[in-house]
Each structure stands twice: as C-alpha cells, then as structure tokens.
C-alpha cells in the first residue's frame, strides 16, 4: 500500500483547488493512491477521509476555495483527538500526508509528527503571506489581484465624488497585502502594523494637495494596525477636510477565480511536496525563496515570526 492524503487547514485560499487537482494527478503518476481529508484536522479526527479520483477534480481548477473544505481545529490541539486521527490514518494505511495551511496548521502537524511519526510535507497557504522562510504562500497573488480590482473601482467613484477612501485589507498582524497593494495601486497613504505612524505627519502635505486641486485620496490600511479604519476616515474628514468613506474588503480577498500565477504555484508546490515524500523526506515544508523551491524543517518555519521586507 502506498497511500497519500491531503488536507486544507486554516483560512482557505484561491489556489487550493488547483493544488488538489494536481495532487490527484501527480500522486497517480507516482504510483501513489490519493486520499482527500475533508474539513482539515477535523476530518482526520472524524474519519472523513475518502479515496480521490480524476472524477473528483474535474473542473475545480477554476474555482476558489477548496472542494474538500478547511477548518481551524481546536480538538486537534488535544492529544486524545490526535490519537484518534492517527488511528483513522492507520485504518486506511495512509503513511504520507500533505497539509495546505498556515503556520498554526504546521504547529499542529509538528506535534502530530513527533507523537506518531507520520511523514508529512507542508505547503504554505495563506493570503497573509506571513510564514517564515518562504517568500510566497499560495493564494497571495489572487488576493492581491482582488484588492487591485477593488481599489481601481473605488478610485472611479472617489474621484467622481471628491472623497477620501480608507480601504482595509486582511493579513492579521502582517502588512504584506497592504504594502504591495499600496505600491501597485499608487495610493496616497499606507498604514501597516510593521511601521509606526503619526497621522499628523501627513496633514500639511494632504491639505496642500487638496488646495491645489486633488480630488480624492486612497488610503490602504492593514487590519492589524492599532486604529479602526473608521478612525482614519474621521481623521480625513476632520483634519484634512475631505468627506471620507471606509471599505473593508474582508473575505472577498479570500475567494475568486485563482490567478494564473496561483495555479502555476499550486502545481509546483504539489510537485515538490510529493517528490519530498516519495524520496523519503519525513518532515518538511516546501518554501519559495529567491526564485526557487527549497525544503525547510518545520522547526525553521514555525520557530520565528516572518519579518516583512519593508518597501515603503
């Protein structure tokens, strides 16, 4: 028996479905029998594990989200449920596991590996792009394109109406999405948790620009900063003197048709993950660094917080 399973854990991303498609194809190519685990670690505990076939993956490459569901499992943090999960894998003689998720999901996996020794390979998947050791996490490009489209649309109405727009992006405590969106959308202001800010520093410049005929401001604000986006909007109204509105992009950033780049990265991540398990690597995370793929140990990945490269 040469069985391999895959699951998605934590916040879903666009790119998971293309990864699932290629997982089935590349497993079969490598004489492995592919299995899907539904709803993340919850499905491992509840034995929601089924053999996957070509039929299951038909047409999913173009869809966001994940066909097999995802979850954040608090039960998996308990030893008794991890034992149950191992028993379920044993029943199906599954000895290899691929996990698409963020560093929280990898931490759970690390404990599982240390207790039960199942070989695994992790694929960094989170729109937050906040995983140490990898420059890219699956789903980021699609999220950035969704943000770009939203900002472009908002600019149309902002300029027509002479308003400031505060656009809030996701990312937890990481400002990656906001920083890249700011640079690639040419917004006037970007606030991220990694850079301390004092709004007073922008006041003279923004007021002068308004006097000189500027019709709108776009501010990209990461969800992890200390203020609420509504406070930034109030500041625009009171201190700069322009009507302001807030758009919280929220979960729109997590869905949508996967971009070409995410489909391609999904393909490559899966190739590297399956290759690692076939070659006998027992515990690795596939990371993307300096234009190529490298394997990192789970320790290296989860032991440090990622430091955002500041470009602004």
Among residues 34 and 224, whose Cβ is nearest to ligand F6P?
A: 224
Structure token digits, residue 294: 């490298």
Which residue carries 């699932």 as its tokens?
Answer: 20
Q: Note whether 126 binds ligand F6P by CB under 6 A.
A: yes
Q: Angle formed by the axes of helices 176-185 and 140-161, to 10°?
A: 50
94 and 37 Cβ atoms separated by less than 8 Å: no
Binding mask 228-267 for ligand F6P (x = CB under 6 A): --------------------------x-------------
249 and 169 Cβ atoms separated by less than 8 Å: yes
Q: List, as one string, the DSSP characters of 150-195.
A: HHHHHHHHHHHHT-EEEEEE--TT--HHHHHHHHHHT-SEEE-TTS
- Sign for the pseudo-dihedral over CA of 157, 158, 159, 161: positive
Among residues 43 and 139, whose Cβ is nearest to ligand F6P?
A: 139
Among residues 73 and 126, whose Cβ is nearest to ligand F6P?
A: 126
66 and 18 Cβ atoms separated by less than 8 Å: no
Distances (CA, A) of 115 to 49, 80, 83, 112: 21, 11, 9, 5
Nearest approach, Cβ of residue 66 and ligand F6P (Å): 13
Q: Note whether 15 binds ligand F6P by CB under 6 A.
A: no
Rounded to whole angstroms, how far apart are CA atoms 119 and 97? 6
Among residues 49 and 170, whose Cβ is nearest to ligand F6P?
A: 170
Nearest approach, Cβ of residue 138 and ligand F6P (Å): 12
Q: Note whether 42 binds ligand F6P by CB under 6 A.
A: no
Nearest approach, Cβ of residue 19 and ligand F6P (Å): 17
Q: Note whether 127 binds ligand F6P by CB under 6 A.
A: yes
Q: Quick one: how far is CA 167 from the chain centroid?
A: 19
276 CB-near residues (< 8 Å, 6+ apart): 121, 284, 286, 295
Nearest approach, Cβ of residue 88 and ligand F6P (Å): 25
Which residue carries 């993956």 as its tokens?
Answer: 57
Among residues 3 and 142, whose Cβ is nearest to ligand F6P?
A: 142
Q: Note whether 21 binds ligand F6P by CB under 6 A.
A: no
Among residues 172 and 281, whose Cβ is nearest to ligand F6P?
A: 172
**One residue of 3, 4, 11, 88 binding ligand F6P per CB under 6 A:** 11
Residues 101-120 that bind ligand F6P (CB under 6 A): 102
Nearest approach, Cβ of residue 102 and ligand F6P (Å): 6
Nearest approach, Cβ of residue 143 and ligand F6P (Å): 9
Residues catalogued as catalytic: 128
The span of 115-123, 125-133, 159-167, 208-216 binding ligand F6P (CB under 6 A) equals 125-133
Rounded to whole angstroms, how far apart are CA atoms 137 and 286? 10
Say how many residues touch ligand F6P, by CB under 6 A: 10
The length of the chain, given as a count of residues: 312
Binding mask 143-172 for ligand F6P (x = CB under 6 A): ---------------------------xxx
**Interaction site with ligand F6P (CB under 6 A):** 11, 102, 126-128, 170-172, 223, 254
């Amino acid at each position: 028996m040469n069985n391999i399973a895959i699951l998605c854990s934590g916040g879903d991303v666009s790119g998971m479905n293309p990864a699932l498609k290629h997982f089935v194809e590349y497993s079969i190519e490598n004489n492995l029998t592919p299995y899907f685990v539904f709803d993340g670690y919850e499905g491992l505990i509840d034995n929601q594990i089924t053999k996957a076939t070509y039929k299951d993956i038909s047409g999913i490459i173009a869809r966001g989200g994940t066909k097999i569901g995802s979850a954040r499992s608090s039960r998996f943090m308990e030893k008794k449920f991890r034992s149950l999960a191992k028993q379920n894998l044993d029943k199906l003689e599954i000895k290899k596991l691929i996990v698409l998720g963020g560093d929280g999901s990898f931490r759970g996996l690390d404990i599982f590996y240390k207790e039960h020794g199942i070989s695994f390979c992790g694929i960094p998947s989170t729109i937050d792009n906040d995983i140490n050791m990898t420059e890219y996490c699956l789903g980021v490009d699609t999220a950035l394109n969704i943000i770009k489209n939203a900002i472009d649309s908002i600019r149309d109405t902002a300029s027509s109406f002479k308003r400031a727009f505060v656009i809030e992006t996701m990312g937890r405590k990481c400002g990656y999405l906001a920083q890249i969106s700011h640079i690639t959308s040419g917004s006037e202001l970007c606030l991220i948790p990694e850079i301390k800010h004092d709004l007073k520093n922008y006041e003279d410049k923004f007021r002068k620009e308004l006097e000189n005929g500027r019709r709108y401001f776009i501010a990209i604000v990461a969800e992890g900063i200390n203020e609420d986006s509504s406070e930034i909007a109030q500041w625009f109204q009171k201190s700069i003197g322009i009507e302001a509105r807030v758009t919280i992009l929220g979960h729109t950033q997590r869905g949508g048709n996967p971009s070409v780049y995410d489909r391609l990265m999904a393909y490559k991540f899966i190739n590297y993950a399956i290759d690692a398990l076939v070659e006998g690597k027992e515990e690795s995370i596939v990371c993307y660094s300096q234009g190529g793929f490298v394997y990192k140990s789970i320790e290296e990945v989860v032991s440090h917080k990622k430091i955002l490269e500041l470009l602004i």
